[in-house]
Structure 1
């Protein structure tokens, strides 16, 4: 008895499930796409992970996200399914009927047809594979229904393969080594730091130091999957609590935060009023009262910077402007200031304010208590080597900025 698929860790159904979860992001959406029940999809993924003794996906910000080893599995699955799709496309040229090879073919179909092509008869194939002849005939009938064309012509001494059978046999010979080597490929991966580091960024923050930290980590540990995404505080805090992200950065809160979360200060910064470099406001504005009728660009409601913005107007017994333009990113706010008459309330560290875009200029009005702190928010109980490494790279980036400022000519 010879069972060549016994060493294959994944079935083709499991490959289809894995690739579809990757494409759709959730098991629910994958089940709809595959026309399977969600329980069937979940079971197929669980069985695949048990066979591989690893997690293919982890829960992420946008749904299911592959682990470092999961990337290798997905790549193999994609190669297998692409080869099947290519063969189906060639077979489709011979018929107008809709083929179902990609959706339903399994390893037993391909190994059976390749064996029949090779030995020349169903009975010899049955002996070779340790199957009964009726089981071989039934399997050939199943795949013939998938490709909607005859596979063999009967001869006096056996079966003569038609073009479709030869193409399917060739498909088996191409993809079976890929499936067979998957486990060995996973085991031979370099023993280096791997995993996912998913970082959230609050609006108006961390645009310069996060890419530097990411670049340093990627250079040292190419097996780490790095992600950065932006969102409001409540979304990032909830994602952190649920394990969808590992941390997030932004202005530290002055009020209480969720008991599961902690904040670590990184950099002292200050609020600043910014306008276009040739804006008339630089000539006439001496106090906050001179700015009450200006157009404003600020962060959204519920952010520390928006709270500070409104407190400025309350401090001079004035209502905050209702028509303030809300922007989500630091870069877009600066760009909008350059191309408009609006004034922006932003925040900068000493280095960044000195490196301000020459088309922008700080309005020289003293703000009350402008100091604030850029920090990183972590889960109190779920911290890792990757997160600690990220914090160290952030601190190194900040120290390099401060050193550069200190050593720069006055």
Structure 2
């Protein structure tokens, strides 16, 4: 009789594996902590997911990450393991040798202890559980080795329960209902979108709309686990290909660098030359030729901004002194410009350029074809309902963000029409 699989969806070994993978972040590190081989850890996790019919972990940005249903499984495992650890601490007070309960105890140990405590006989407990008496006796010896103290003493009329057995039986009665109810808990989760949404962001890209889209998703889909991280293009593209993230946002290139990736445009933007508002260059410069001796802050090579910058000055046969800009947010890059004499080439959508920091000013120099596009990069074959919901929220957020500008433009056109009519 396999007590673990007959009565419980997860073995306690599987619980230990799941909990340790969560703590360490990788199966390899978990195997070291548990003193198990990595194949053994992988097998235990796979068997647990098959038994529960859920995915507990998914590959993430810096290791494995729990899914939303995985969070429920992990919480359940941790609660049971903490109860076991607390019982071990109590039992440790009676002996000096270190105990092994938390590392090796399984359901059969606790179930057999509880059965013997209840009936006071190894043979009767064996009959009750449908196993042999030698199996019961062998299990009792294993438990005594774990707790380093007797669990029963013999008497004419049967076995006398020792304090250790009472504590272990009480432990079983506390945690067994938690384990047995796990499947029901998972099945009764709301039928809403669940899983992970991990979004990468290139420098300066959508920091003002992603949190709003995230907030809307949180309200509608409590079962989605949200993440956002920043990084350079090649890092995010590789992370997307490997399934560590689900998508990333930023300035669109002339096409993704990998055939399995696709780009979806979201928001029109334009390149802009920015300097601090009191910079004398605003009065002195009329064309790009007037800027060649200035100090510049521009994104590094391999980015659309740098490609555009190089094309600007290549056309006038002059490349000015440059410092690569590694800042990740508009706020930090703008602060750098405010506190320096440098000029920066940045990009803004219509709303952000109108909301420019008053300590900054756009240079009144027309740029050739300054239009650019902010978009989202997806994996061609991995576009889940969660990602689709996120894209819809992004589009709605962008629409709401730009609507006041559109309303102002519409009002201005209406006023012009009325003025023409009145003039006529």
Which segment drifts farther, 12-21 or 140-149?
Answer: 140-149
Q: Deviations over 1:3-56 (max 9, x none)?
A: 697231100111111122222222222222211111111111111112112222
1:8 corresponding residue in structure 2: 8
Which segment drifts farther, 244-253 or 124-133?
Answer: 124-133
Q: Does 1:35 align with 2:35?
A: yes
Which segment drifts farther, 89-98 or 169-178?
Answer: 89-98
- Of the two, which has the highest radius of gyration? 2
1:181 corresponding residue in structure 2: 181
Which segment drifts farther, 15-24 or 121-130?
Answer: 121-130
**C-alpha distance in 1 between matches for 2:334 and 2:86:** 49
Which segment drifts farther, 217-226 or 146-155?
Answer: 146-155
Assess if the C-alpha contact under 8 Å between 1:274 and 1:362 holds in 2: yes
**C-alpha distance in 2 between matches for 1:297 and 1:162:** 76
Q: CA deviation at 1:2?
A: 11
Q: Deviations over 1:49-100 (max 9, x none)?
A: 1211222222333332222322211111111111112222222233332222
1:130 corresponding residue in structure 2: 130
Q: Does 1:324 align with 2:328?
A: no
The number of equivalent residue pairs is: 410
1:402 corresponding residue in structure 2: 402
**C-alpha distance in 2 between matches for 1:207 and 1:183:** 39
Assess if the C-alpha contact under 8 Å between 1:251 and 1:372 holds in 2: yes
**C-alpha distance in 2 between matches for 1:107 and 1:2:** 10
Is the alpha carbon distance of 1:96 and 1:314 closer, same or farther for their aligned partners in structure 2, counting shifts above 3 Å?
A: farther
Let me know the Cα RMSD of the aligned residues.
2.4
1:92 corresponding residue in structure 2: 92
* Structure 2 counterparts to residues 25-174 of structure 1, below 5 A: 25-174=25-174
Q: CA deviation at 1:258?
A: 2.2
2:265 corresponding residue in structure 1: 265
Q: Does 1:207 align with 2:207?
A: yes
Secondary structure, in 3 states, of the residue corresponding to 2:181? helix
Secondary structure, in 3 states, of the residue corresponding to 1:377? strand
2:422 corresponding residue in structure 1: none
Gaps of 5+ in 2: 413-424
Gaps of 5+ in 1: none
Is the alpha carbon distance of 1:256 and 1:394 closer, same or farther for their aligned partners in structure 2, counting shifts above 3 Å?
A: closer
**C-alpha distance in 2 between matches for 1:359 and 1:99:** 66
**C-alpha distance in 1 between matches for 2:160 and 2:281:** 89
**C-alpha distance in 1 between matches for 2:180 and 2:17:** 19
Q: Deviations over 1:204-242 (max 9, x none)?
A: 211111111111122111112222222221222222223
Which segment drifts farther, 317-326 or 95-104?
Answer: 317-326
**C-alpha distance in 1 between matches for 2:157 and 2:387:** 68
Q: Does 1:227 align with 2:205?
A: no
Instruction: Give the TM-score taking structure 2 as reference length.
Output: 0.88
Secondary structure, in 3 states, of the residue corresponding to 1:206? coil
Q: Deviations over 1:349-397 (max 9, x none)?
A: 1111111223333233332322111111122233232222222211111
